[in-house]
Amino acid sequence: MDSGDKGNILLVDDEPNALKVLSAILREASYKTYQADCFDKAVEIVSLEDIDAVITDLKMPGKDGLHLFHRLKANNPDIPVIFLTAYGTVDSAVTAMTEGAFFYFIKPPDYVKLKAVLSRAVEQKRLRSEVADLRSRIESTYGFSSIIGKSPGMESIFRTVESIKDSSTNVLITGETGTGKELLARAIHYTSHRHYRPFVAVNCAALPHELLEAECFGYERGAFTGAVSRRVGKFEEADTGTLFLDEIGELGLPLQAKLLRAIQEKEIERIGGNRKIKIDVRLLASTNRDLSREIRSENFRTDLYYRLNVVQIKLPPLRDRRTDIPLLVTHFIDKFANRENKRVTSVSPEVMRVFLQHDWPGNIRELGNVIERAVVLVKGDVIGLRDIPAEIRKEAKVSGQAPEKLKPLKEIELEMINQALNTFRGNKSKAARALGITRKALYKRLENVK
């Protein structure tokens, strides 16, 4: 078995023989070991290598093991620290344990037990790394970087969301179908302090009214025919997190009344139950309807509207943010080309002019579908007119000249890439996430615009 299979371990001790013996034992157990005889050397190794755990002597000349532990706790809190200590310094080791040290052994340690403890420490470190990586990917998928747009209207929305994301205020997101209302709701949640708690979405237009109440509030066994067991509703599932009610304008008046009570009292009752259940839920709602008109038509409760509409965010249709179309095209090409493993890099100037003239009644969803179809069908690396639907080609009047003041796509891409790189001080990973593309795609874009 090759050394390093089980993890990378940093050994810190000012006694060379102690380092030599422990390193040999751990290498035999398939760990890769790094050795340091002082604080400064240990800090240097941690900065250069991917260390899974640290085993350090407690007492050393100069800055000792406690200094190292506090340094790691401040800068590398995910790395578990195991202490080796003499009888006279046990109290210090116990104190370190209360501050978060993983374990301590009295010298000489029981090496069988040490290896068992070390195995748990490495597993904990890797689990934490996996959670951090998963959280990073979730935030990249559903955070602000997933929402493409630099138009004034979108910049204004970003500023609003930044102001209210950590509030418990209810938010009503309005906009036409396909403008990205659920995507924005997820971004609000995953950039808020509730991001580690549940995000639960309910599509109010997808369920019959008689099932929607049970879906939202749950029910007790025997509450109605077919209720053979208790079911927890979406409000309870979202407790301490965020509940997103998509297309809330589809709710019937009886369910609106029950929803209003839940918002006001911060508690619910399951169908067929008589127990009040307290809930802590951040409520986000969306609609493509004009709720003011629905109120005048007596299809929507005025009091519920004002409860929901504490902050309203209106997503503009794509036809009102045409300057974002080149960015969205780039985003969707990268997304679907990576999925299909194809080397599609851009659209032709003629296709871009068609896209800029089309009114996009289906908004961003329609544009994404068009690009997905084109990426699948195209034979080369550039999407041409023949690769987009005929109905879109027919609607647009393709001329030989670009519209007035229209910049070439490569120039727009270069401007956005440079802006992102400047914002994140040259950090390409952060710039790529902000642009909604992969680091690999960013490098490819930089090569293409040269």
- For the stretch 168-182, pLDDT in tens is 999 999 999 999 999
The predicted pLDDT at position 20 comes to 92
- Are 84 and 109 contacting, i.e. CB atoms less than 8 angstroms apart? yes
Count the Cβ atoms, other than its own, within 10 Å of residue 424: 15
The predicted pLDDT at position 265 comes to 93
Shared fold status for 147-316 and 319-448? no
Q: Which two tokens stand for residue 257?
A: 């009344």
Of 60 and 144, the structure prediction assigns the larger pLDDT to 60
**Of 212, 199, 204, 196, whose CA–CA distance to 281 is shortest?**
199
Place 407 in a pLDDT band, splitting at 50, 70 and 90: low
Domain 8-138 in CATH 3.40.50.2300? The answer is yes
pLDDT surpasses 60 at 418 = yes
In the CATH hierarchy, which fold is given to the domain comprising 319-448? Helicase, Ruva Protein; domain 3 (1.10.8)
Mean of pLDDT values over 79-89 = 83
**Of 327, 292, 299, whose CA–CA distance to 415 is shortest?**
327
The predicted pLDDT at position 444 comes to 75
Q: Give the CATH superfamily of 147-316.
A: P-loop containing nucleotide triphosphate hydrolases (3.40.50.300)
Q: Is-above-0.75 flag for pTM?
A: no
State how far the Cα of 23 lies from the Cα of 26, in Å rounded to an integer: 5
The predicted pLDDT at position 136 comes to 57
Place 2 in a pLDDT band, splitting at 50, 70 and 90: very low
Rg, the chain, Cα only: 29
The predicted pLDDT at position 94 comes to 81
Q: What percent of the chain is predicted at pLDDT more than 90?
A: 56
Task: Report domain extents, the chain.
Answer: 8-138, 147-316, 319-448
State how far the Cα of 296 lies from the Cα of 330, in Å rounded to an integer: 43
3-class SS string, 131-177: HHHHHHHHHHHHCHHHCCCCCHHHHHHHHHHHHHCCCCCCEEEECCC
Q: Give CA separation, 61 vs 96, 285, 307, in Å.
A: 18, 61, 64
pLDDT surpasses 50 at 400 = no
